[in-house]
Homo-oligomer: A and B are copies of this chain.
Amino acid sequence: MNYDIHQDSIKIAVIGGSRIEGDSKVYDIARKVGQHIAKRKAILVCGGLTGVMEAACRGAKDEGGLTIGILPSTESSTANQWVDIKIPTGLGYARNALVVLSADSVIAIDGAEGTLSEIGYALTYAKPLVGLNTWEIKPCKALDVPAMTTADTPREAVDMALGLLDKNRL
């Protein structure tokens, strides 16, 4: 497949749990987020595994987008089948820092415990962060920027992820 990649291609990370047992609604939301990312010509970055990560990659491929999976294991074969560029790290969950760092902005969807560490990294690295039905977090003290912006729909999440980025760049 052919991809148009530029030096200034935007990368959006989708973070979320690897297990979304029986929850086809979460799968659909993540897939739609992936679709909108690809429609906007952004590159999708994620942890490369199952669940939310798989759904988002699949959505991006529905629309001919490019996907990058930053994997916890040393084996490329652990990636879901919709990952184009596999980066096996062998770092376990410490790779969560890299998923966030590799992206320009971050969308959190649903998510178990690991997702919370990624939300923490998005805030640490001052990446624009949009939440879609994910952890609610409340800081114990004032932060320099709002902890997380909340979206209601997949399209809105992607719009916000790109919009916050433009704002950062001004």
Residues of A bordering B, CB below 8 Å: 1-7, 43, 66, 68, 70, 74, 81, 84-94, 96-98, 101-102, 110-121, 123-125, 133-141, 143
Contact = CB atoms under 8 A, between A and B. Distances in A.
Q: How many copies does the complex hold?
A: 4
A120 B123 contact: no
Query: Majority SS of interface residues in chain A?
Result: mixed
A117 B121 contact: yes
A140 B117 contact: no
Given A136-B137, A136-B138, A93 B97 contact: yes
A102 B68 CA distance: 12
Contact of A116 (B1, B4, B87, B116): B116
A36 to B, nearest CB: 20
Given A1-B4, A68-B85, 16 more contacts: A2-B4, A5-B66, A5-B84, A7-B84, A85-B85, A90-B92, A90-B93, A93-B97, A93-B121, A93-B124, A94-B98, A96-B117, A117-B117, A117-B120, A135-B137, A137-B137
